[in-house]
């Protein structure tokens, strides 16, 4: 025999037969010729219980058994998505071609009539195990790929410094909100905000402290907003917030709350304590001018706030 491609000593086979003598014969053949782990069941119910709880790598299944025959066991196993990929080989005294057809219809991968030729039986078992184990490996690889894909997608939509949504992410989410408004006549508001004299923080305390301020301001904003609100890092020290189902007046109140929270926070980093303030521009999304112009309205209000003293909310 060639060296098996897969690790057979970890492989578990369930042998099912209502006749103890048959179980013994088959068990001995497998023990003498392979390193598979073996489990035995003497009726269909016992077999299904074991299959569901332990998920063996293969089932060698007798057909004629009282109460529940092998075909039914196989059908039940195939119906359950958790066990459907376990290969079933029928080993039976039923030799008619129609019996084999019924076995394949029930979902079996092979059908071996007794008396069988021992080396052939062993090779069939190994072939089907190889297929099963390489299928399992492919599925595992697929799961890993899926996970990697989801991670990359998440990274592409996240600002790495603050963990906030990035510009692309909030643009996507605003597009979704805009079409929701089109359909259901909803509404939402925007807050564009920017840290005041942030350059001074960098110049006075260094870039690391600046980064710390960005992360802290992000956390303060998140903790003062609702679950459904989206805060994004729009640019350097500038943030855009989308507030679904929020009118202009309410959005101004939200911005005022954020302004207070940030102004009152005592920031401390690398032995230095200091405060920062932020200026806020607020607009309500207007479907007649579109998203770009609605953002610009918030941006213009922010600019006005910067021109007229900072640390304020302008609509
Ligand atoms: P204003 O009140 O008018 O907004 O003044 P400002 O100093 O905040 O604005 P200005 O645009 O002059 O400076 C923004 C500074 O933000 C300059 C830039 O180096 C800094 N900055 C942008 N991104 C980052 C970052 O990721 N980390 C740090 N530490 N600084 C950043
Ligand atoms: Mg039987
Ligand atoms: Mg600034
Ligand atoms: Mg700025």
Tell me the HSE value of 251 on the side-chain side, using a 13 A CA sphere.
27
User: How many angstroms is it from 306 CA to the middle of ligand 4?
Assistant: 10
- CA dist., res. 258 & res. 193, Å (int): 10
User: How many angstroms is it from 301 CA to the middle of ligand 4?
Assistant: 14
Contact 205, 272 (CB under 8 A): yes
Q: Is 198's C-beta closer than 6 angstroms to any atom of ligand 1?
A: yes
In this structure, is the dihedral angle defined by the CA atoms of residues 134, 138, 140 and 141, taken in order, positive or negative? positive
pLDDT digits (tens, 9 = 90+) for 56-70: 999 999 999 999 999
pLDDT digits (tens, 9 = 90+) for 96-139: 999 999 999 999 999 999 999 999 999 999 999 999 999 999 99
Closest C-alpha among 131, 136, 88 to residue 112: 88
pTM of the model: 0.74
Q: What is the mean pLDDT of residues 199-209?
A: 97
In this structure, is the dihedral angle defined by the CA atoms of residues 150, 156, 159 and 165, taken in order, positive or negative? negative
Give me the pLDDT at residue 275, please. Answer: 97
Q: Is the pLDDT of residue 6 over 60?
A: no
- CA dist., res. 40 & res. 12, Å (int): 11
Position in ligand 1 atom list of the atom nearest CA 200: 7
- Structure tokens that stand for 109 in this block: 């991968």
Q: What is the mean pLDDT of residues 73-80?
A: 98
- Structure tokens that stand for 20 in this block: 């103890």
Q: What percent of the chain shows pLDDT beyond 70?
A: 97
Instruction: Say what the alpha-carbon torsion angle 297, 300, 301, 306 is, to the nearest 10 degrees.
Output: 160
Ligand 4 (single-atom ion) residues, CB below 5 Å: 194, 238
Which amino acid residue places its CA nearest to atom 30 of ligand 1? 210
Closest C-alpha among 34, 36, 24, 93 to residue 62: 93
* Catalytic site positions: 237
Give me the pLDDT at residue 184, please. Answer: 87
Mean of per-residue pLDDT scores for the chain: 95
Q: Is 161's C-beta closer than 6 angstroms to any atom of ligand 1?
A: yes
Q: Is 263's C-beta closer than 6 angstroms to any atom of ligand 1?
A: no
User: How many angstroms is it from 210 CA to the middle of ligand 1?
Assistant: 8
């Amino acid at each position: 025999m060639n060296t098996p491609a897969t690790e057979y000593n970890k492989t578990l086979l369930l042998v099912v037969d209502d006749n103890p003598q048959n179980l013994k014969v088959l068990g001995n053949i497998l023990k003498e010729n392979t390193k598979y782990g073996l489990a035995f069941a003497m009726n269909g119910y016992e077999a299904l219980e074991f299959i569901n709880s332990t998920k063996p790598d293969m089932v060698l299944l007798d057909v004629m058994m009282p109460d529940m025959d092998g075909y039914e066991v196989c059908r039940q196993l195939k119906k359950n998505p958790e066990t459907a990929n376990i290969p079933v080989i029928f080993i039976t005294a039923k030799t008619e071609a129609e019996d084999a057809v019924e076995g394949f219809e029930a979902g079996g991968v092979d059908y071996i009539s007794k008396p069988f030729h021992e080396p052939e039986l062993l090779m069939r078992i190994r072939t089907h195990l190889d297929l099963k184990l390489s299928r399992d490996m492919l599925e595992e690889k697929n799961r890993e790929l899926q996970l990697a894909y989801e991670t990359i997608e998440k990274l592409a939509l996240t600002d790495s410094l603050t963990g906030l949504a990035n510009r692309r992410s909030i643009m996507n989410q605003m597009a979704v909100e805009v079409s929701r408004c089109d359909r259901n006549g909803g509404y939402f508001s925007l807050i564009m905000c920017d840290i005041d004299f942030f350059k001074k923080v960098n110049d006075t305390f260094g870039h690391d402290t600046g980064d710390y301020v960005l992360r802290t301001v992000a956390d303060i904003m998140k903790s003062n907003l609702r679950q459904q609100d989206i805060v994004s890092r729009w640019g350097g020290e500038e943030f855009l917030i989308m507030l679904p189902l929020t009118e202009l007046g309410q959005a101004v109140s939200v911005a005022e709350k954020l302004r207070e929270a940030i102004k009152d926070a005592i920031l401390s980093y690398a032995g230095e304590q200091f405060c920062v303030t932020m200026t806020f521009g607020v607009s309500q999304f207007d479907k007649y001018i579109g998203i770009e112009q609605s953002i610009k309205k918030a941006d213009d209000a922010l600019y006005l706030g910067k021109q007229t003293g900072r640390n304020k909310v302008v609509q």
